[in-house]
A = this chain, B = another copy of it.
Amino acid sequence: MSPMEKFEVHILGCGSALPTLRHNATSQVVNIREKLFMIDCGEGTQVQLRRSRLRFNKLNHIFISHLHGDHCFGLMGLISTFGMLERTAALHIYAHPQLEELLKPQLDFFCKGLPFQVVFHPFDPARREVIYDDRSVSVETIPLRHRLPTAGFLFREKPTMNHIRRDMIDYYQIPTYLINRIKNGEDFVTDEGVTVPNDRLTFPSAPPRTYAYCSDTAYLPQIAGQIKGADLLFHEATFASDNEARARQTQHSTAAQAARTARDAQVRQLVIGHFSARYEDETPLLQEAQAIFPHTTLAREGMTIPIESR
């Protein structure tokens, strides 16, 4: 993928609350056209980020799904490290309002004189709303059901410019300064005053892609409506179906439930993660999910999942 078409998800950690030697606490980085967006930041995320070789200074936005430690205990270390690396760009954190209250005293003490601003953007996890928007992407919350207020995130790529037809440019001898305007949809008027419609000069760009992140959550069938047709769904699958009662009790999902949501939402691809420490091997979770939704993959640390254009 060219940098301007890039849309990929990097798994930094896909374990659940109890960290193991096999899985790190939850964190992901979404790379959309070389802008990095972090989702969740469990303990050890900064080391996983370093391991990923993603560039720290392209990361300006962090989205926290909920305030359980395995989704946010890595923030202090990450922010401290950014300070030591003399970052100057503001770091934006999108989370439940209580995070700022909890983090502020520690930031004031441990990160005195930080060379950059930490800007908190509180949101209400119970409401579906767009909490981030720029030229290339918007991020919308997905209200989830967990033991405390929790939201998933739906990343929607903005449409890209049309692709220019090189043969037509030559044929009509279109000057260079008009190319970007034509890519953006303008028609071309020849010296003779003839209008050449845009669709003769360009191919339409690929349809915008979407990524839905749903963790942590009990099985919640209504998610499917909001994430309909997503190109990629990450859904937690803390347990296999043999632990369905435990899943219900702790408000987590089974692999089968994750797959049901993927099937009902008609997504293109499902990745499951947030595995309970009790599974030494997640193959049974994969099999269980694939029986319902074949295009399922197990998350693992260090994995990059490209979202190809259709």
**A interface list, Cβ under 8 A from B:** 17-21, 24-25, 43-44, 46-47, 50-51, 67-70, 73-74, 76-77, 80-81, 84-85, 98, 102, 105-106, 109-110
Contact = CB atoms under 8 A, between A and B. Distances in A.
Contact of A50 (B17, B20, B51, B74): B20
A25 B81 CA distance: 12
Contacts of A77: 19, 25, 43, 69, 73
Contact of A102 (B24, B81, B109): B109
A80 B19 CA distance: 11
A104 to B, nearest CB: 10
Nearest to A20: B50
B19 A47 contact: yes
Contacts of A19: 46-47, 50, 77, 81
A12 B17 CA distance: 21
Contacts of A17: 80, 84
A69 B73 contact: no
B74 A80 contact: no
B21 A67 contact: no
Contacts of A102: 105-106, 109
23 contacts: A18-B81, A18-B85, A19-B46, A19-B47, A19-B77, A20-B50, A21-B50, A24-B47, A25-B77, A43-B43, A43-B76, A44-B44, A44-B47, A68-B110, A69-B76, A69-B80, A69-B110, A73-B76, A73-B77, A98-B109, A102-B105, A102-B109, A105-B105
A241 B201 CA distance: 66
Contacts of A50: 19-21
Given A69-B80, A76-B73, A80-B69, A21 B47 contact: yes
Contacts of A51: 21
A47 B20 CA distance: 7
A69 to B, nearest CB: 5
Given A47-B44, A106-B102, A18 B69 contact: no
Contacts of A106: 102, 106
Given A21-B47, A43-B74, A69-B80, 15 more contacts: A17-B80, A17-B84, A18-B85, A19-B47, A24-B47, A43-B43, A43-B44, A43-B77, A44-B44, A67-B109, A69-B76, A73-B77, A98-B109, A102-B105, A106-B106
